[in-house]
Structure 1
Amino acid sequence: MKKSFLKLAIIIPIILFFVGITLQGFLGDFPLQAFKFPINIIVFADVFISSIVLHWLFKNKNFIKFLSSGYAALSSIALFSAMVIIMVSTAQENTDNTFIKFFGFNNVIFTWTYALSSFYLLISLGLATLRRLFPFTTKNIFFYLNHFGFWLIVAAGSLGQADKQRLNISVPEGELVWYAHDSKGKYQEPDFAIKLDSFKIKYYPPKLAIVDIHGNMLKAKEFQPKELIKGEKIKYKAFNIEVLDIYENAIATKDTVLFVAGLPENTVVAKLKVNNKVLYIQNGTSFHNPILAKISAKERLAILSPEPSYFGSYIGLYTKTGIKNEKHLIEVNKPLIMKSWTIYQTSYFKLDDYSQDVYVSVLTAVYDPWLKIVYLGFAMLVIGVVYLIFSRPSLKIKK
C-alpha cells in the first residue's frame, strides 16, 4: 500500500498542475469573482462538510486512506508551495511576457492551477485532521489545532480573495473625499469618507554631490554623496570643502542668500568654502533651477534634494454607521484598522506648482473580511506547533 500511496503522491500533483495549465490556456483565468459573498461561504461550508462525509462514510476506502495520509499531505503541500513560490518570484502585475501571461503566472491567485492545488490541499488536510480527531487525547487535540489552523488559513485566504478590495484614495489637505478608484481606475464609493486635516512630512539632511558638466553624479567609488552638516569638512582630490552654513526656505545669489516666503519646504542653500573660496549652491525645485558651483573644468558641486524621512496624515473619519470626524493618524507602516478595512499611507504629492504648501495624501484602503479567520488559523497553527515541539520526549543519555 505504501508503494501505491507514493505513486499517487507523485502522479496527482503532476496531473493537477497540467490540468490547471490546460484549463488556463483554453478558458483563461479562474472565475474567482463568481465566488463572492455569499457563494464563498457556501463553498467554504461545502468543502468542510464534504470532508466530514468522506471521512465518515468512506474512511476505509484506499483512496480516502491515501488522502488522509502523510503522503497526500506532503504531495498537496508541495503543489501548493510550488504555486506560492511562482507567486512570490513573479511580479503579480500586467506583463508583456507571453509565456508568463499565457499561464497566468503574473496573477497566480486567479489561475486554475492555484484553485486545484488549494482544493487538493484542503481535502487532504481536512481528512488528515479528522483521522486524528479521535481518540480525544491531548496530543491529538494539538495536532488538530495545527492542521485545522493551516486548513483555515488556506480556505479563508483563497476564498476570501473574491471579496477582497484594494482602493486608492487621494485626499487634498482640507478636503473631504468619499470616493476612490480600484486598480483598473474604476470609480468606487466605499462606506466611509476621509477628510485630510493636515499632512506632516520630515526630511533627511540634504546631501552634497559632485556632478559632471551634464549633471550626472560621479560613480560611487569616485565620490559618495555626503550629508551636509554645518562645520563638516570634506576632502575630494585637491579640494578642501567646508560647510559654513545651511539655509532653508532661501534662494542663493552670486554672493549672498535671500529668504523668500512661499518656497517649497525642501528648498536648501549651502554656503561652502572650497580652498578658501566661498561659494553658494542650491538644490532645484519646481520653482527654480539648481545652482551649482564649478570646481574644475568637468566637475561641479551640487545639492541633492532632501528625501522624506517621515510622512503621515492627520485625518477625520466619517462612516455610514454614524462616525463623524473621528480623529486618526495614518503613518507609513502604521495603518488605520477599521472593521474589515485597513487603510495604509502609501505616498503623497503636491497639489500643483503654485500651491507648494498644499499636499495630497495618497492612501490605499484594503477590504478583507476574511482576514480575521486567517489570523485565527495562524493562532491555532502556532499553538499546535509550539505544543508539538515542547511535548517531544527529551533524549536521555546513558552514562
Structure 2
Amino acid sequence: MKSSKTTTKNKRKIWQMPWGFPESITIVCGIVVVGSMLQLLLRGGFNFYLLAAPVNYYIGGGLILTCIGLSLLKKNRFIKWFSGIPFSISLIMAFLLLSLIMGLTPQLTGEQTNTGTIFSQLGFDQMTHSWAFVLIYLTMLLALGVLIAQRLQNFKWKDYTFHAYHIGIWLVLFSTGLGHADMERYIMHVPEGETEWRVYDASKNVKELPIAIQLNDFDMETYPPQLTIIDRHSGAPQPKAKPDFYSIDSENSSGMLNGWQLKLEKYIHQAIRNSDSTYREMPMPGATPAAHISMYNPSTGVKHSGWVCGGNQAQLYMTLPLTEHLSVVMSQAEPKRFRSDVILYTPNGTPKKAIIEVNKPAQVNNWMVYQYGYNNQAGQLSKYSSMELVYDPWKTAVYIGFGLIALGTIAMIWNGKQIKHKYTNDKQPLEI
C-alpha cells in the first residue's frame, strides 16, 4: 500500500519539467489555433512579398543569430525541450498534416479569392500563405536551427551524417521561405526573327527585364492525325454514343469507322495541294498532313475514295463525302515536340545560344527560361514563341540544401549497412 502511494506521488504531472509529448502536442496545437485566429481576424494569409530584399536578409540574419544565442543556453530546461525530440516530432506531424490538407485541397492562385466558406477563410485553399502554416514553419526553422547550433558547438567528424542531413533540411526551409518574395515569374511572347525584353507584370504594366531573347526559329513536330466520320450538318463524330476514330498508322493501313471499312492508300505528313483534289509531298512552312483513303460499306456495297486533309491557316481542309449526311474528316495534328532556337542576352554577359524545349529550359545567371507555348490556332505556322522566365536568386542555396540531404541520406544507408555487416560478422553461432 505504501509503495502504491509513493508511485502516485512521484508520477510527473503535465506542465511539470521536463516537458514531453503531452505538452509538445498541446503547444503545437496552440500554435495552429493562434494561426487560425490570425487568419480570421486579418481576413487573409501572410503576404510573403513583405519579405522582399533586403528585408529577408535582415530577418534571415536575425534568425541565425537567435538560433546561435538560444543554443548557448543548452542547460536551460526550456531550450532542451525546444530542441528536443518530443517537440520536433510534434512540429513535423503538424507540418505533414497541413501539407496533406494542401495536397488534397485545390489551391487558389494569387489572382483568385477565397470562396467564403470557413474552410477557405482558414486559408486551407492557400495553405503556404496561411498563418497556421507560416507559424509552424517559423517554429520548425528556429527549433531545428537551435539543435544544429548546439551540435556544431561540440563538432565531431563522426557526426557528419547528422550535420549534412539536418543542415540540408534547414537550408531548404530557410531559402524557400525567405526567398519566395524575391522570385519573379513572367511570360514573354517573342516574334520569330525579333528580339524581345519587355513583359507585362501582375498589374498589366509593361516592364523591361535585364534579359532579352532573340528568337531565330520556332519549329514543331506533330503526331499523325486521326480520321473519323461526322454528321455533315451537326459536325458530331459518329456514332454519337461512342465515336470511332482511326489513328493513321503505316503499319496498320486498315480499320473500321461507323460500319465502313477504311483502307489507307497513301499518307503524306507534309503535303500541299497539287490540284483541287490531289496532294503532293512538300516539306515547307504551311504543309499539312493529307491521306488518300478508300471507304467501303459492306451492308450497301457503296465505295468511295479520295483525299482527306485537316487543313491549317495556309491550306483549306478537304473531306470525303460518303452519303448525304456523312463525311470522313481528318483531325488537326497534335503537337509532338516544339522548340525554340534562341539567343539570350544579359547586360554583363556574353550572348548565349540555346535550344529551348518543354522540360529542357535554358539558364543564364539567376534566370531560367522555359518553353511555354505558341499560337495554338496557327500551330506549325505560329509566328511567335511564348517563354516563361523565372528569376530566383535563392535557388543555389536550395540546390546545396538538397545536395546535403542526399549526401546525408546516402551516408545513413551506408552506415546502416556497415553496422549490420559488423553485427553479422561478430555474431557467434549457436551451439547445438
TM-score by length of 1: 0.87
Partner of 2:208: 189
Equivalent of residue 369 in structure 2, options 327, 340, 343: 343
Alignment of 1:334-373 (within 5 A): 334-349=360-375, 357-373=381-397
Cα distance, 1:182–1:188 mapped onto 2, change above 3 Å: same
Contact 1:207 1:228 (8 Å CA) reproduced = no
After the TM superposition, which residues 207-222 of structure 1 pair with which residues of structure 2 at under 5 Å, given as runs?
207-213=226-232, 214-218=234-238
Q: How many residues align?
A: 394
In structure 1, what is the equivalent of residue 178 of structure 2? 159
Q: What letter matches 2:166 in structure 1?
A: H
Equivalent AA in structure 2 for residue 348 of structure 1: Y
- Written as runs of structure 1 = structure 2, the 5 A alignment for 1:50-129 is 50-57=66-73, 59-89=74-104, 90-93=106-109, 94=112, 97-99=115-117, 101-129=120-148
State how 1:135-284 maps to structure 2 within 5 Å: 135-213=154-232, 214-218=234-238, 223-229=244-250, 232-236=253-257, 238-247=259-268, 248-251=270-273, 256-257=277-278, 265=286, 267-275=288-296, 276-284=303-311
Instruction: Find the counterpart in structure 2 of residue 22 from structure 1.
Output: 37
**Closer, same or farther: CA 300–144 of 1 in aligned 2, 3 Å:** same
Partner of 2:64: 48
Q: CA deviation at 1:288?
A: 6.5
- Once residues 246 and 292 of structure 1 are traced to their aligned partners in structure 2, the CA distance between those partners, rounded to angstroms, is 15
Deviation by residue 1:241-279 (Cα, 9 ceiling, x = unmatched): 11112243435988x225699997363322111124213
Question: Which runs of 5 or more structure 2 residues have no equivalent in the other structure?
Answer: 1-11, 297-302
TM-score normalised to structure 2 length = 0.81
Q: SS of the counterpart of 2:360?
A: coil
Whole-Å Cα distance in 2 between the matches of residues 389 and 220 of structure 1? Answer: 56
Q: Which SS does the other structure have where 1:389 is aligned? A: helix
In 1: Cα distance, 2:252 partner to 2:265 partner: 6
Closer/same/farther in 2, CA of residues 360 and 86 from structure 1, 3 Å limit? farther
Letter in 2 for 1:38: P
1:10 to 22, 25, 48: 25
Taking structure 1 as reference, are residues 201 and 150 closer, same or farther at Cα in structure 2, changes over 3 Å only? same
Structure 1 distance, partners of 2:220, 2:13, is 63
CA offsets, 1:138-162, max 9 Å, x none? Answer: 4423202111110000010100001
Go from structure 1 to structure 2 and tell me whether the alpha carbon gap of 1:322 and 1:136 turns closer, same or farther (over 3 Å shift): closer
Q: Residue 343 and residue 49 in structure 1: after superposition, are their counterparts in 2 closer, same or farther (change >3 A)?
A: same
Instruction: Describe the superposition over 1:172-205 as per-residue Cα deviations: whole angstroms up to 9, x where unpaired.
Output: 1011111112345343222111111111111111
Q: 1:54 to 1:241 in 2, by over 3 A?
A: same
Percentage of identical aligned residues? 27
**C-alpha separation between the residues in 2 aligned to 1:85 and 1:141?**
31
Using the alignment, how far apart are the partners of 2:279 and 2:32 within structure 1? 69
Cα 1:260–1:233 change in 2 (3 A) is: closer
**Structure 2 residue 344 is the aligned partner of structure 1 residue 317:** yes
Given that 1:10 and 1:75 are in contact with CA atoms closer than 8 Å, whether structure 2 keeps it comes out as: yes
Q: Which has the larger radius of gyration?
A: 2
- Residues 264 and 285, structure 1, Cα contact 8 Å, conserved in 2: no
Cα deviations by residue, 1:96-127 (Å, 9 ceiling, x for unpaired):
63235433334333322222111111112112
Q: 1:356 to 1:135 in 2, by over 3 A?
A: closer
